[in-house]
Chains A and B, each alone.
Chain A
């Protein structure tokens, strides 16, 4: 049995150093057009990779998750706020699962 507080310290220190080192010690302004372009695309590719296909296995059923994904995609396309999109996706999953339960496709 290891000490929980040492675990927490190791987690926190590793995570902070990863965030801090590039931000504090990278002083130069990047002028290389290729690297600037690379960094421009990073947030989009990173968030997209984290979202899909992980979203499909986040709920009790791939079907309800697909409904949530579709609703989130539509509202994001309509440029609704972060919160609206997030809550509507939750609501859609909730409703989809109630319908599935009623049809006997899902038991929670």
Chain B
């Protein structure tokens, strides 16, 4: 596949992501302004961070006038999953392109962009990621801008409905492969079960949401890797196709 073809494929994969992001970042823009940030501060956060959970947590810290150290630790913990994703992507990205591309690809490592590049067959070109980023980033930034400007005008029932958009997207990434690979199915069920345990059981309930995601990801992936190691090359390819 040429660079151009990879880029175009990335754009296609990026369109639903960009639209989903618009809905989620809309809420972020709205909450930022209602909390006391300016529209441009909200837009700058979205442009430089490109992450949902981290930004919402960061917003809370800014509004509560927390310390810079607290901000750093919160981002580190909530976004620690990106370390796992970047590790995974470091294996998936083609070695035929200059290494420097990885500095730019890194900026766009989000749950969804990672999700679509992980679901590609074989190695992935950085240009695929650039294509997805070209649509997803404007979606995220524009959604923030529109939410910041119009948010106050939107009725509560619309806001409530829009807040499931991101989860719908996540399910659309994990469920299809779970249909074809029993080990993935059990990994998904196990992860949902363990994070539910963290949400409802005493003591476990006190663990912050960022840590819950990290612990669940590491524990369930370890068990899955131990019980159902992947067959070389066989499972390398995407199960989506």
Residues on A lying within 8 angstroms of B by beta carbon are 1-2, 4-8, 10-12, 14-16, 18-24, 26, 29-30, 33-55, 58-60, 64-65, 68-69, 72-73, 75-77, 79-91, 93-94, 97-98, 101, 108
Contact = CB atoms under 8 A, between A and B. Distances in A.
B128 to A, nearest CB: 15
What are the 3 A-B residue pairs with the smallest beta carbon separation, nearest first?
A83-B16, A89-B168, A37-B225
Interface of B: 15-17, 19-20, 23, 37, 41, 44-45, 48-51, 53-55, 58, 61-62, 65, 67-68, 71-72, 75-76, 79-91, 93, 99, 102-103, 105-107, 109, 111-112, 114-115, 118, 155-158, 160-179, 183-184, 187-192, 194-196, 199-200, 209, 212-213, 216-217, 220-222, 224-226, 228-230, 232, 235
A44 B20 contact: no
Contacts of B174: 43-44, 47-48, 51, 76
A86 B24 CA distance: 11
8 contacts: A34-B225, A45-B190, A51-B167, A59-B164, A60-B160, A68-B167, A72-B168, A90-B162
B161 A90 contact: yes
A43 B90 contact: no
Contacts of B200: 53
Contacts of B20: 82-83, 86
